[in-house]
Amino acid sequence: MTDRLKTSTVAALAVVLGVVLLVTAALWLGRTEPATGRTVVGLRIWDPSFVAPYRASLDEFERHNPDLQVRITVVPWASYQQKLRLDVAGGTADDLFWSNSYADYADAGRLTDIGALLGRDSVRQWDPGAVAQYTRAGKLWAVPQFVDGGTAVYYNRDLLAAAGVEPGELDRASWSPHGPDSFRPVLQRLAAVAPWAYNAGNDFQSIELPYLGSAGGRFQDGDRYVFDSPAGVDGFGYLVSLVTARLAPSAADTRSGSDFAKNAFLQGKLALFQSGSFNLEQIAEQARFGWGIAMIPAGPAGRVSTDNAIGIAANAATAHPDAVRRVLAWLGSAAGNRYLAGNGQTIPAVVSEQYRYREYWAHRGIDVAPFFDVLRGPRIESGGGPGFPAALQAMDSIFDEMFLGRIPVPEALRNARSAAQAAARR
């Protein structure tokens, strides 16, 4: 009898556990919660540091929209793009997801037209560069969330002082492969007091695009890759020459995706670290020396930077289109977007809220003006179009070999362009 009671109890518990698991699975997949009647909208991002500001924003949204719940899922960057492609193809993608390479999804009809969904008044409040980045074929395919601002140069005050370099010299510096060059002499002075002067290397957004643009070149013309132009040879050639002269770390250490340069700067081994606002918070928290931010060097075509943005795309196959519209309207509004600037983490895409970022860092004694001032000049597009992630991957190893000095710059650029174009067509 006792054994039978125990067996019955176990069976009953198994049934209860099974029901709990089924309910949990249903909630996880974004179905309506039976107990509350709330519709669950899924939002997928790749950076866990954004969970807290998004949660704070969405908690306020949910207080005013008690029939909705937004559930945040974090998929690490290393697997984000591949998993997103599989989930979109399999019909299991979240209702909303961060996107920076959207053209393939838009062309395949997998995304919702944001302009049609939210209207022109919403679009007018967003950073123009971000809107341009997510516009294709006359339609907007994501709600801009935050922008990186332009590229600037973080500098170590102690190393500059030891080399007798005034910070103002950085703001006035210019480079040229053929004419007067005031930047290289500064680097040579810094190399005398530090293991490395500057982070020239295979860094697409922070190094290669600014040099390509300031040489007068372009990365793409429409969906065609054109970075192997004479201007491209000048820009990339100058960067490779800095590595060859040992003014920058070895290319074996600064391969694409490496944090070597940032870590070297934080360790006081690199005098100048050219990068974006996305590294500001970490440098502010971890640098144990005096530092500041200067303008990037000007090239033959002036100072040219890119202005990358991250946006939220809407899954065209969502089962909750009206709920998605309401969530996107909130996250794209001044009231919903301002949370992303709360701790100086990033620059909101809503233009009226960008002052919050500058004020936060001003209160901490840090002038972030170079990230904004550089964008007053010409910009170079950060790239996109069908097959763009595959194209970047195809050219990456060739660029690594170029910086290692194993392939001459003109040949490497031709090979990389051919590889990128072929990968994009697949």
Q: In the chain, what is the greatest distance between 2 CA atoms, to the nearest angstrom?
A: 97
Say whether both 127 and 175 belong to one domain.
Answer: no
Say whether both 242 and 339 belong to one domain.
Answer: no
User: How many Å apart are CA 243 and CA 248, to the nearest integer?
Assistant: 5
Within a domain: 19: no
Within a domain: 379: no
Host domain of residue 263: 152-304+387-425
Q: 168-218: per-residue pLDDT in tens? A: 999 999 999 988 999 999 999 999 999 999 999 999 999 999 999 999 999
Within a domain: 120: yes
Say whether both 226 and 106 belong to one domain.
Answer: no
Q: What is the pLDDT of residue 342?
A: 84
Q: What is the pLDDT of residue 36?
A: 64
- What is the CATH number for 89? 3.40.190.10
Say whether both 61 and 206 belong to one domain.
Answer: no
Say whether both 163 and 259 belong to one domain.
Answer: yes
C-beta pairs of 183-187 under 8 Å, 24+ apart in sequence: 183/297, 184/242, 184/247, 187/242, 187/247, 187/272
Within a domain: 199: yes
Q: 228-284: per-residue pLDDT in tens? A: 999 999 999 999 999 999 999 999 999 877 899 999 999 999 999 999 999 999 999
Torsion angles phi and psi, residue 13, rounded to 5: -60, -35
Say whether both 133 and 121 belong to one domain.
Answer: yes
190: burial class by Cβ within 10 Å (0-12, 13-18, 19+)?
buried
Within a domain: 15: no
Q: Which of 364, 379, 410 is the last residue of a domain?
A: 364
Say whether both 189 and 138 belong to one domain.
Answer: no
Say whether both 108 and 198 belong to one domain.
Answer: no
Say whether both 278 and 406 belong to one domain.
Answer: yes
Task: Kindly give the confidence (pLDDT) of every residue in the chain, 426 residues in length, as a single tens digit, with 9 standing for 90 and above.
Answer: 333 333 333 333 333 334 333 333 333 433 334 446 899 999 999 999 999 999 999 999 999 999 999 999 999 998 999 999 999 999 999 999 999 889 999 999 999 999 999 998 899 999 999 999 999 999 999 999 999 999 999 999 999 999 999 999 999 999 999 889 999 999 999 999 999 999 999 999 999 999 999 999 999 998 899 999 999 999 999 999 999 999 999 999 998 778 999 999 999 999 999 999 999 999 999 999 999 999 999 999 999 999 889 999 999 999 999 999 999 999 999 999 999 998 898 999 999 999 999 999 999 999 999 999 999 999 998 888 889 989 999 999 999 999 999 999 999 999 999 999 999 988
Q: What is the pLDDT of residue 19?
A: 36
Say whether both 268 and 317 belong to one domain.
Answer: no
Q: What is the pLDDT of residue 179?
A: 83
Q: Which of 131, 261, 284 is nearest to 199 (CA)?
A: 261
Within a domain: 397: yes
Say whether both 160 and 220 belong to one domain.
Answer: yes
Within a domain: 1: no
Structural domains counted in the chain: 2
Q: Which of 333, 364, 395 is the last residue of a domain?
A: 364
Say whether both 134 and 185 belong to one domain.
Answer: no
Within a domain: 209: yes
